[in-house]
Structure 1
Amino acid sequence: MIYTIKTVRREDWREAKEIRLAALRDPIAHLAFLETLEQALARPDEFWQDRAQASAEGTSLRQFVAEDADRAWLGTVTVRVELPGDEKAFGEPPKAPQTHVVGVFVQPAARGTGLAQQLLGAALEWSWSLPEPRIERVRLHVHEANPRAEAVYRRVGFERTGYEVLVPDETPFHEIELAVRRG
């Protein structure tokens, strides 16, 4: 199947919201996302509009989506710039500019088609294309009990860094950091 990978634009905010809600409704959402469906549903429209606007500007965050021939959104990935001292960084703040891939989701019907790799490829390409700050490392985190996702990330070139984040939850778990360096 042929997909079109595109950047989320400001006017796409409703679709961006809907694909996020679909991701959080997925039976494995608890392994893939730290946000809950209830939290996302409670966000005002302005949140989704601002996020879509930030993606469109593409200076600190970019969200990519994959469309099929009927323009249905089948997957998404978001990548954001992290700078040294960034207190919003998940886990250890970066020592040098890097990007962080988050929100990876592919609709169940499109899984196993290579779509996730295409979306991750777009995230890497955007990261490497930034003129300032120059990105040398792209990272992401995967739940310790999600080997299928880790296998997808490894196929794109991500490798374990040895760093893990303990997430204090009702049942604590580890998020394993994987990264790829500029080639």
Structure 2
Amino acid sequence: MNEHEIRPVRADEWAKVKELRLAALHDPAAAVAFLETVEEGESRTDGFWQDRAAGAASGRAVRQFVAEGPDGRWNGTVTVLVEAAGTSDFFEGVVERPQGHLVGVFVRPEQRGAGLAEALFEAALEWAWSLEEPALERVRLFVHEDNPRAGAFYRRFGFTPSGHVVPMAEDPSAKELEYVFARPERP
């Protein structure tokens, strides 16, 4: 895994949060991987990025994990959003159970296949399962139907398709497929 450190972001690292997100939005797969365009990302103020980093660094609602190389460069990321039962989700549905929602999955192209995505997911799930009162029952994510590489990785990691399909707002003929990972049984 190239000696990367997998860790949560810190509130003062907003410039790196911004740089990695913009790199993700420039990726050729961004159109089917993210619900934001590069133009939207580039138009955001420094205050937005400062708030985003601070919000993802502490508390229970959200946590962003990064893969930091020995040179200090961030080469991958994943964010866990905590969805409380009864709240609305991204797609205007109602969340039925306390759960995590993985978003913003990205590994720089030159680092793909090195185990970073697996390490990021392990850290994200470990954090999600550590939450109590209420404990999260599952973690989910959505993948665009035209992103088979991502879908294959999620299945290989242990996520399973739930059968829940959501049409994309900008193109209702395009679909997002839900994958879930159930909370492991405690011994």
- How many pairs does the alignment contain? 183
1:105 alignment counterpart:
106
**Residues 1-183 of structure 1 aligned to structure 2 (within 5 Å):** 1-90=2-91, 92-170=93-171, 172-183=173-184
Deviations 1:1-44 (A, max 9, x none): 22100111111111001100000001111010010011111212
Instruction: Tell me how far apart the structure 2 counterparts of residues 117 and 167 of structure 1 sit (CA, whole Å).
Output: 27
Contact 2:62 2:82 in 1 (8 A): yes
Distance 2:59 2:118 in 1: 21
The TM-score normalised by the length of structure 1 is 0.95
Asked if structure 2 preserves the Cα contact closer than 8 Å seen for 1:82 and 1:89, the reply is no
Q: Distance in 1 between matches of 2:178 and 2:115?
A: 22
The amino acid of 1:109's aligned partner reads E
The separation in 2 between residues aligned to 1:155 and 1:38, in whole angstroms, is 33
Tell me the TM-score normalised to structure 2 length.
Answer: 0.93
Percent identity between the aligned chains? 52
Structure 2 portions without partners, runs of 5+: none
Q: Which moved more, 1:140-149 or 1:37-46?
A: 37-46
Amino acid at match of 1:81: V
Distance 2:40 2:173 in 1: 19
SS of the counterpart of 2:93? coil
What is the RMSD computed on CA atoms of the aligned residues? 1.3
Which ranges in structure 1 are unaligned for 5 or more consecutive residues? none
1:77 aligned counterpart, secondary structure: strand
Q: Secondary structure at the match of 2:32?
A: helix
